[in-house]
Amino acid sequence: MASYQTTKKPPLSRVKVRPNLTGYERTRKTFRFTDVYKELDWLPDGGLNKAHECIDRHANGASANKPAMIWEGKNGEQERYTFADMKRETGKFANVLRGLGVGRGDRVFTFLDRIPEHYFAVFGILKAGAIAGPLFSAFGPDPVRDRLLDSGAKVLVTSPELRGRIAHIFKDLPELKHVIIVNKLGRDKTPIAPTDLRYEELMAKASAEFKTDNTSMFDYSIMHYTSGTTGKPKGAVHRHMAIVQQYITGKWVLDLHPDDIYWCTADPGWVTGTSYGMLAPWSNGVTQLIYEGGIRASTWYELVQRHKVTVWYTAPTAVRMLMRSGTRVTSQYDLSSLRYINSVGEPLNPEAIVWGLEAFKQAIHDNWWQTETGAILIANYAFQEVRHGSMGRPLPGIEAAILDRSYNPLPPGQQGYLAIRPGWPSMFHTYWNNADMYNSKFKKGWYITGDEARVDEDGFFWFVGRADDVINTAGHLVGPFEVESALIEHPAVAEAGVIGKPDPIAMEVVKAFVALKDGYEPTDRLRQELLRFAREKLSAGVAPREIDFVKSLPKTRSSKIMRRLLKARELGLPEGDTSTLEEE
């Protein structure tokens, strides 16, 4: 298992390490998540629905004309939507879905860029009582097909261009009944199929009046696929009651106030982009900036300056990319509106912390959670000093521990499995169609996160690394099996083993070791072809960045590829226990 800790430490003169924990301790002892129930609006008939808490509750009250979304397109387009506008658009889309026969529990997936219609669609799906499955728009056909097939999705909402990218998968999806095409600003000329439905036409005919489905707090709302060591990604399913924790962490961890302009840089295809790019800010009635484009330091700073962003939630890879452009660029913009910065998804390394202090004149607050946890569980809070390099302390109401190999708690200072006591409101309820895998995550009354960490005497948790072979590249988890499966579909490939290779920006990049079938030569041309082949099937982020040809792969006697050994060899580390290694 790799350790991501680096040796470089932030200068101690800038970092206060003895926070005042009094308020935290008091809240921690008395807080119950049920205390938050009275802060929710609830549906008139007693149910709970995320769309109601995020949109209609504000649209029906004093915030109706407050901007909910400030959108900037990748070509500089700007649009603004108030909570009342959001209520209208999401109501219309819920009516569109009802008209197509979509009801409680149906799966409706979105495969769109960060455009307003993506957000309208997700909340329309929730209003209709269906389960929303947002997909990352950079995906290639394989990840999209796997997810639609596994979930039995009934409707897909996409754009002409993205539809074109996955055109050949539709024949494999018997349960998919409708494809709705959003053509934002009519800017996409890619042809669509005659059977496709046009979003703009459907919306023009739809009524804006919609009575939100009276879902219970236990009904399913959103699913996100996440990668494990074995098999294809699994659909972690969340319930409407997750909003309890998304709302309260928005307040406590992101420190959201009613007059904030908040910007979460994550894509809705990943859990951060829904829990904190939709649910936490809007349940708190906060205005958020949504930017369609990718990362470029000058554009990002311009956005902060132009929209006077106050709270920012981003990822260490993004911070490291900004670092590359240096503090000279930062100083050319007025970033004084920024009062609070958070980061998640990967270890925030000391270099990034030091740079953040220089560039933004404030600490970046790291926090920890997962797709499965649905919301932040461990955080450096606004009301206490940041302990740099640590992920922070568990949220009040959360019990976290470090366990040994037999799943018994370890004392402070020792490294082991990071585990959480089940029962928090945003806890996933199952992996879709995979109860066995879900059940396997619970040991001796703990949810086992798959991470290794340690806790210090003051209760701060420190990330050490993944306990499994899952790769974290730019904050996105990649399952090696998924990449290996794509590679072996190429006629030249006999077998493939995939690892995460340390990288200064993305933390890890995907690296593959490939053994060729007889008759194929390990040429540079073939390497390039395999790189392209994987990129087209998967996506640039998931596909290998590097391929090494090998004669054969190290395997256990039961024929499992020993990725741990591939990684040790790649990094020049000791090979560890090789007693189960088959002759190579």
Binding residues for ligand PRX (CB under 6 A): 226, 271-272, 344-347, 366-371, 391, 449-451, 463, 466, 472, 477
Residues whose CB falls within 8 Å of the CB of residue 225, separated by 6 or more in sequence, listed in order: 133, 143, 146, 147, 150, 233, 234, 235, 236
Tokens of 142: 């394989």
Tokens of 117: 């219609």
Whole-angstrom distance, CA of residue 169 vs CA of residue 154 = 14
Q: Which helix (H) or strand (E) element contains residue 146?
A: helix 141-151
Question: What is the three-class DSSP state of 548?
Answer: strand
Residue among 287 and 367 whose Cβ is closer to ligand PRX: 367
Residue among 158 and 272 whose Cβ is closer to ligand PRX: 272
Whole-angstrom distance, CA of residue 264 vs CA of residue 463 = 23
Residue among 213 and 255 whose Cβ is closer to ligand PRX: 255
SS3 content of the chain, % helix, strand, coil (to 5): 30, 25, 45
Residue among 391 and 499 whose Cβ is closer to ligand PRX: 391
| Residue 289 burial class via C-beta count within 10 angstroms: exposed 0-12, middle 13-18, buried 19 and up | buried
Amino acid at residue number 208: A
Residue among 176 and 341 whose Cβ is closer to ligand PRX: 341
- Minimum CB separation of residue 507 from ligand PRX in Å reads 9
Residue among 347 and 397 whose Cβ is closer to ligand PRX: 347
Residue among 199 and 313 whose Cβ is closer to ligand PRX: 313
Closest CA to 389 of 452, 323, 500, 464: 464
Residue among 158 and 317 whose Cβ is closer to ligand PRX: 317
Residue among 256 and 550 whose Cβ is closer to ligand PRX: 256
- Minimum CB separation of residue 222 from ligand PRX in Å reads 13
- Minimum CB separation of residue 226 from ligand PRX in Å reads 5
- Minimum CB separation of residue 367 from ligand PRX in Å reads 6
Residue with tokens 């459907």: 202
- Minimum CB separation of residue 105 from ligand PRX in Å reads 24
DSSP annotation string for 162-189: HHHHTGGGGGG-TT--EEEE--GGG---
Residue with tokens 């799943």: 407
| Residue 37 burial class via C-beta count within 10 angstroms: exposed 0-12, middle 13-18, buried 19 and up | middle
Tokens of 332: 């050319």
Alpha carbon of 170 to those of 102, 142, 186, 202, 442: distances in Å? 19, 11, 24, 22, 36
Closest CA to 480 of 562, 417, 558: 562
- Minimum CB separation of residue 407 from ligand PRX in Å reads 17
Amino acid at residue number 160: P
Which residue number has the CB closest to ligand PRX?
Answer: 371
- Minimum CB separation of residue 232 from ligand PRX in Å reads 15
- Minimum CB separation of residue 462 from ligand PRX in Å reads 9
- Minimum CB separation of residue 465 from ligand PRX in Å reads 8
Residue among 291 and 368 whose Cβ is closer to ligand PRX: 368
- Minimum CB separation of residue 525 from ligand PRX in Å reads 35
Residue among 300 and 417 whose Cβ is closer to ligand PRX: 417
Amino acid at residue number 17: V
Q: Is the Cβ–Cβ distance between 379 and 348 less than 8 Å?
A: no
Closest CA to 379 of 19, 8, 5: 19
- Minimum CB separation of residue 249 from ligand PRX in Å reads 12
Beta partners for 342?
313, 365
Residues whose CB falls within 8 Å of the CB of residue 314, separated by 6 or more in sequence, listed in order: 264, 265, 266, 341, 342, 343
